[in-house]
């Protein structure tokens, strides 16, 4: 109406009937609570309120168009953002390949990465501080993620680490019970609990002399002859053990590596694409 000056002209431009335009104007004036048009003979002009509405409507329509274009870009993976949290051995092994593949396939999708061990990383996900949490669990921790979407990635076996000169360093496999009298170097709290549980099932409580979340530090302490350790294969893959030997341990200790997200986030295209790339990288 602001550009055509009449109901009939507006109806022709919109491709609808004149009564339909008239009805819409009445509804709009009722919603505004004031007159928007002044009828002068066969033509109409805007009231002050009508002029204000037209002025703001132009910005609203432009904003709506921009919003539609941005949403379409996100839905089509031409844009988007994913906040990823990973434990250190995951961020040095699984994450780089997955993010490189994601960038090649969807260059408009941006991914940020911070490191945190579970359960802190899982708390970040539930608190809305990330979109995907790369985490791990051992066999006794099955129900802790029942409210989340769990994408299994791989099974990571823990490897024994002995000083070069250790009496058992030349063996391919060592029983945990054979290390009962050794000083131990333990990793993160979750891994530490699993170590104690496995050792106690084998008939002894490990004497933990050192504990650190930093896997290179664990390897350095073992290499210096200060104790023995078990480390995830992913951790050893990313750090070259110096002064230490790797051995298989029995009974086997395994952890499940997973990617976690919230049910609503799993439907976001950029999040779904990142989960897919993590799974593809883990399968290689």
**Which residues, 6+ apart, have CB-to-CB distance to 155 below 8 Å?**
254, 255, 256, 257
| Cα angle, residue 233 at apex, residues 246 and 188 outer, rounded to 5° | 100
| Cα angle, residue 242 at apex, residues 94 and 96 outer, rounded to 5° | 15
The reply to whether 134 and 267 lie within a common domain is yes
**Which residues, 6+ apart, have CB-to-CB distance to 167 below 8 Å?**
none
Q: With cut-offs at 50, 70 and 90, classify the pLDDT of residue 41.
A: low
CATH code of the domain in which 146 resides:
3.40.190.10
Under DSSP, the state recorded for 138 is -
* Residue 1 included in any domain: no
**Which of 24, 48, 75 represents a domain boundary (last residue)?**
75
Encoding tokens for residue 262? Answer: 């919230």
Element (H, E) at 114: strand 109-115
Peptide bond into 247 cis (omega under 30): no
Mean pLDDT of 154-173: 96
pTM for the predicted model, two decimal places:
0.74
The reply to whether 107 and 169 lie within a common domain is no
Q: With cut-offs at 50, 70 and 90, classify the pLDDT of residue 36.
A: confident
Distance between CA atoms of residues 103 and 143, nearest Å: 34
The reply to whether 150 and 262 lie within a common domain is yes
**pLDDT of 256 higher than 90:** yes
Q: Within 10 A of 84 (CB to CB), how many other CB atoms are there? A: 24
The reply to whether 122 and 263 lie within a common domain is yes
The reply to whether 237 and 170 lie within a common domain is yes
Encoding tokens for residue 166? Answer: 């250790």
The reply to whether 118 and 183 lie within a common domain is no
| pLDDT reported for residue 38 | 84
First to last CA, the chain: 63
| pLDDT reported for residue 275 | 97
Q: Give the structural domain span for 233.
A: 157-254
| pLDDT reported for residue 141 | 59
């Amino acid at each position: 109406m602001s550009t055509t000056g009449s109901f009939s002209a507006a109806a022709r431009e919109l491709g609808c009937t004149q009564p339909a335009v008239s009805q819409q104007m009445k509804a709009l004036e009722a919603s505004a609570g004031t007159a928007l048009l002044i009828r002068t003979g066969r033509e109409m002009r805007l009231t002050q309120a009508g002029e204000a509405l037209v002025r703001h409507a132009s910005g609203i329509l432009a904003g709506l168009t921009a919003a539609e274009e941005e949403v379409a870009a996100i839905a089509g993976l031409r844009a988007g953002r994913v906040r990823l949290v990973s434990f250190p051995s995951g961020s040095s092994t699984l994450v780089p390949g997955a993010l490189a593949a994601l960038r090649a396939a969807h260059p408009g999708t941006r991914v940020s990465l911070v490191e945190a061990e579970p359960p802190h990383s899982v708390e970040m996900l539930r608190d809305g501080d990330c979109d995907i949490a790369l985490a791990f669990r051992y066999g006794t921790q099955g129900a802790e993620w029942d409210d989340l979407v769990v994408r299994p990635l791989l099974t990571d076996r823990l490897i024994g680490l002995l000083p070069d000169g250790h009496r058992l360093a030349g063996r391919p496999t060592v029983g945990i019970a054979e290390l009962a009298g050794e000083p131990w170097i333990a990793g993160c709290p979750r891994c530490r609990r699993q170590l104690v549980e496995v050792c106690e099932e084998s008939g002894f409580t490990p004497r933990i002399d050192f504990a650190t979340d930093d896997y290179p530090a664990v390897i350095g302490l073992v290499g210096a002859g200060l104790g023995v350790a078990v480390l995830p294969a992913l951790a050893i893959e990313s750090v070259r053990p110096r002064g230490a030997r790797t051995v298989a341990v029995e009974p086997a200790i395994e952890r499940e590596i997973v990617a976690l997200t919230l049910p609503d986030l799993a439907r976001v295209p950029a999040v779904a694409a990142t989960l897919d790339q993590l799974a593809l990288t883990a399968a290689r």
